[in-house]
Structure 1
């Protein structure tokens, strides 16, 4: 498979397409300077990115939208060239809150539609003004969720033209089956966004999704947080892994480019995030050579130790 990140995309189950290489836009709102996201998205568009992954809960969709609109205005791209993915946050699962949440995203972006809208998590928080509602002990307040009812509200949004494709995030097989087997299903989920990288390859979920025409979108494609409560610190950071570094030297690529290529080559969409101009450019240069060795080296080394 000869891939070109500038033009290559994969089909979705509803007839639309999603670019294999995307740009993650999350930035901690407490530490990210104002305007950073906008400038980086504009640079990413100039570099060649056309797929942007965002969310209402990132608190920066207005900057993403501003960047997209400016690049449309200066003739760099057209709206139809851009693929934007937004997310339904945990406090908006009740059916009556789904469309208003999507409309908040559209208002922030100042766009008429999003290309993909996904349920961010298969769990819900207590609805209200707080995105992270907590009790007096500081613990999150969860809320009952009926994923099928939420999905029906999303289907109505698609029928209304507010979104072109519908998907999910962090869903396991059982949760996917709940939607796929829902009586009266009109629009199947076309994607499932999950953590996916050489230390966490998701083989069983990937195969199940392939069988059901669901594209896997891999977040944290360069490795997840090094929080000891989340990962095995005996494993080296992904980008320092000896195997990835050695493969990179063989092909004159960075370990980050190797990690991205690993997923792209097996049809997994990747959405690396960086606010570094140099890394934004490097992450896009996964190359067009047939790097068969990337897949087989990583598959056979048995490094499924979550970073």
Structure 2
């Protein structure tokens, strides 16, 4: 059954791992890239979102499109310029795909797009699900616009799935190496109150969900891509210290210090979401890593030996 998968944002953290896993399952994989001449082990088509250009062959190639494009939320301070970039990099890339799919012959059967649990804002310790109300802070507004762009694919009768990703755990990028850094220096500590919930997902489970969304036609609409057991920041920090066999030395890092360092971007760390995985579980999907301890051990076990 494997077909041809076109991935936007394929050179990112999830895109690279997902490409490997798809190839292992017998799929053909191609990436859309601004600079297709860069050395890549994947077939690469050129696109330029700012110029509104996409290689026609990319659209005719694809059976499914996986959309992971978007500027990193945590890479730089949130200046007004950066905020525009974070938003536009997500919406304009989908708008371009939508326009091309609407005006050319293609055989795309499904469009699977990433979004984020930031849409729920700071939900405290209340468990939120796909039906919960959305927040109106910056990240929530970005997610709403991002999902709004993805929904356009339904006008073209393309099955559309949106996966709201939690904190994706991988030692190759994202939040985990950032959190592990102070641990390695024996300076690990919970951040802010430590009570804020972290809804996380192991990168392999996140990728398996994208693959499941391709293969299982019952996947339609929005799903939270989070493991079933969210933890508080304090619990996360303790589990991480244990996995890395490092002590927790410091008391909590106060919120004002994080604000000083990161400005408005500190929202990412200081606000919490306790997000339900029930809808995904009801599809019959099983998480390989449903507990944080197992997830962290998969990364740090080898380092201990």
Q: TM-score range by the shorter chain?
A: 0.3 to 0.5
Structure whose residues are more often helix by fraction: 2
TM-score w.r.t. length of structure 1? 0.33
